[in-house]
Amino acid sequence: MTERPARPLRSVLFARGDDPESLEKATASGADSIVADLEEPRTPYSEADRERGRAVARAFFDAQPAGGRTLLFARVQPWSTGQTLKDLRAVMGPSLGGVLVPKIQSPTDVHAIDALVTCTEVEFGVERGSVALYPILETADAIRLAYEIATASARVAYMGGAISRFGDIHQAVGFRWTADGEETLFLRSKVLIDARAAGIRYPISGMWGGDRDDLDGLRTFAVKLRNLGYYGMMLGDPVYIPVVHAVFTPTPADVAYWQDLDRLATEAERAGTGPIVYGDPNQGEGHVVHIAHVGSARRNLAWARDLGVI
């Protein structure tokens, strides 16, 4: 499937959508993306509290510039609650980049949210189709149907396994969280392949469940996610951002290597000579450069450009 246009998001930081201080702190955090949470910013959360929270969210989104550096999402209530439209009306506008869709069970949920978002775009004079959808896969049904969910709407630009220590996916699957993450490796891998097959360029994974001050544990987990093929992760605390951004940003050495392969291939193609070799022959597969190596290098350079690294 053709990849859908989307910018890479190393960090997707959740903030209470009903709390101006939480939103202000998130805005100043340097996160690539912020999620104003209207679904469950705290517990308990009465309907009167929700109405006050929507007013806070409305003021926040109205104050943000359209097309800003930080991509702004809102997490709304599931369409099955009958309350989604109220939440959408509180956040819809030119600064809204996308909607996180919780408690997804099947493509039917995506169809329903898509329709509600379209109606709200029209109501608020926002360009139709401009607001992205980001399904949160936190049920067994959603994990099972990840590909079908990702392809249920052209709006779906981001997706990944919503792994967390105590969240809904823990209840749905019954795993016991460990810092090593072996218990969720299949879930993360399955969703990653489904997302990529559906054309999602930059899959995002779930949260770090360890102690807030265990930054070494966070770094180890984030490296595993990047090694697996993820380009970012959800975060519940701004303190994690420097570590996560460092892991999900290509290094200068990475960029230099990809640029070398791109240059060597371009020169060889122009001159009609070959084979292309690079570095120490002891590198094995990495020494004799093939078209797949060049394609990977150019793809990674595009990622670096999308991040603004080059």
Query: Which CATH number covers residue 73?
Result: 3.20.20.60
* CA proximity to 38, closest of 25, 22, 30, 28: 22
pLDDT of 106: 96
Q: pLDDT: is 165 or 209 the higher one?
A: 209
Residue 44 burial (10 A CB sphere; 0-12, 13-18, 19+): exposed
Same domain for 271 and 196: no
**Is residue 172 over pLDDT 70?**
yes
Distance of alpha carbon 217 from alpha carbon 244, whole angstroms: 11
In a domain, 2, yes or no: no
Is the domain of 239 the same as that of 259?
no
State the total domains in the chain: 2
Answer yes or no: are the C-beta atoms of 109 and 84 closer than 8 Å. no
pLDDT number for residue 279: 85
Of the pLDDT bands very low, low, confident and very high (cuts 50, 70, 90), residue 3 is confident
Tell me, yes or no, whether 260 lies in a domain. Answer: yes
Q: Please tell me the distance from the alpha carbon of residue 88 to that of residue 167, in angstroms, as a whole number.
A: 24
Mean pLDDT of 180-195: 94
Q: Are residues 223 and 269 in the same domain?
A: no
Could you read off the pLDDT of 57-103 as tens digits, one per residue? 999 999 999 988 999 999 999 999 999 999 999 999 999 999 999 99
pLDDT more than 90, % of the chain: 85
CA–CA dist 130, 92 (Å, integer): 11
Q: Are residues 70 and 174 in the same domain?
A: yes
- Are 47 and 107 contained in the same domain? yes
With respect to residue 151, please indicate whether it lies within any of the assigned structural domains: yes
Q: Is residue 231 part of a domain?
A: yes
Q: Which of 219, 247, 275 is the last residue before a domain boundary?
A: 247
Same domain, 143 and 291: no
Q: Does 222 lie in the same domain as 180?
A: yes
CB atoms within 10 A of CB 161: 31
Give domain status of residue 3, yes or no. Answer: no
Do the domain assignments include residue 211?
yes
- pLDDT score, position 156: 97
Residue 288 lies in a domain: yes
Do both 225 and 190 map to the same domain? yes
What does the mean pLDDT of the chain come to? 94
- Of the chain, the percentage scoring pLDDT greater than 70 comes to 99
In the predicted model, what is the mean pLDDT of residues 151-173? Answer: 85
User: Model confidence over 200-258: pLDDT tens digits?
Assistant: 999 999 899 999 999 999 999 999 999 999 999 999 999 999 999 999 999 999 999 99
Beta bridge partners of 232: 204
Instruction: Give the domain-ending residue among 229, 247, 265.
Output: 247
**Closest among 101, 108, 210, 208 to 158, alpha carbons compared:** 101
**Residues 99 and 203 occupy one common structural domain:** yes
- 247, 262, 292 - which closes a domain: 247
The token duo for 84 is 């989604």
Is the domain of 101 the same as that of 199? yes
* Mean pLDDT for the stretch of residues 113-118: 98
DSSP reduced 3-state for 101: strand
- Domain that residue 125 falls in: 11-247
Interhelix angle 84-91/47-63, rounded to 10 degrees, is 30
Torsional sign, CA 217, 209, 164, 55: negative
pLDDT at 1: 63
Burial class, 52, CB count within 10 angstroms (exposed 0-12 / middle 13-18 / buried 19+): exposed
- Please name the residue that has the structure tokens 């099947």: 106
Both 221 and 286 in one domain: the answer is no
In sequence order, what are the beta bridge partners of 100? 75, 134
| Secondary-structure breakdown of the chain: helix, strand, coil percentages, each rounded to the nearest 5 | 50, 15, 35
Q: Identify the H or E element spanning 222.
A: helix 215-228
Q: Are residues 196 and 279 in the same domain?
A: no
In the numeric block, which tokens belong to residue 69? 């550096």
